[in-house]
Amino acid sequence: MLRSHYNIDALEAGLDEAGRGCLAGPVVAAAVILPKDYTHHLLNDSKQLSKIQRNILRIEIKRDALAYAVAEASHEEIDKINILKASFLAMHRAIDKLVFRPEHLLIDGNRFTPYPLISHTCIIKGDAKFLSIAAASILAKTYRDDLMEKLAEDFPHYKWQQNAGYPTQFHKKAIKEHGFTPFHRLTFKSD
């Protein structure tokens, strides 16, 4: 069972990103502040859930959270500063958008660029350990999947509605046949 908090005495925000390993589209981050001792029987790492489960949970997270925010760093920013820095930039932007200022940040992963005046803890596989990080993973993934589905309407050859811009064999083959779109990350290799 996922934990509801890291430090019971601090207002915590969980953070995670989606789209880090993609060939196209932005990297998206979410920050979620859940009530103290929050529980949910289904909430888990977004990769462990079906699309239907994620979409149901997205509604419930938005309803139950004390605060949440989603932000992105564009494919141009990824090409300019690299994917790791762009992931942290998206996370910082999500924190900036929260209606409450958290006292502590729980970051999925092993690295983070510190946010000014807020302590943080990096937790490897945190989206499978803490509810707030799992909630952030779901909001980031569902937001990004919806965005890539919309972009797929204008670029149907790449099947982003199915692969969300990840480097599937089909996506790599489509790049070889049709070239790059304005949304591809040019610093990523397609093969």
Q: Which pLDDT does position 155 carry in this prediction?
A: 95
Contacts of 2 (CB under 8 A, 6+ apart): 43, 44, 128, 129, 130, 131, 134
pLDDT value of position 1: 84
Question: Under 8 Å CB-to-CB from 52, ≥6 apart: which residues?
Answer: none
State the pLDDT at residue 189. Answer: 57
pLDDT at 118: 98
Q: How many CB atoms lie within 10 A of CB 79?
A: 15
Enumerate residues 6+ apart whose C-beta is below 8 A from 40: 57, 60, 64, 131
**What's residue 190's pLDDT?**
46
Cβ neighbours for 14, distance < 8 A, ≥ 6 positions apart: 31, 32, 33, 34, 105, 106, 108, 126, 130, 131, 132, 133, 134, 135, 136
User: What is the four-CA torsion angle of 135, 138, 143, 148, rounded to 10 degrees?
Assistant: 160
pLDDT in tens, the chain (191 residues): 899 999 999 999 999 999 999 999 999 999 999 999 899 999 988 889 999 999 999 999 999 999 999 999 999 999 999 999 999 999 999 999 999 999 999 999 999 999 999 999 999 999 999 999 999 999 999 999 999 999 999 999 999 999 999 999 999 999 999 999 999 999 875 44
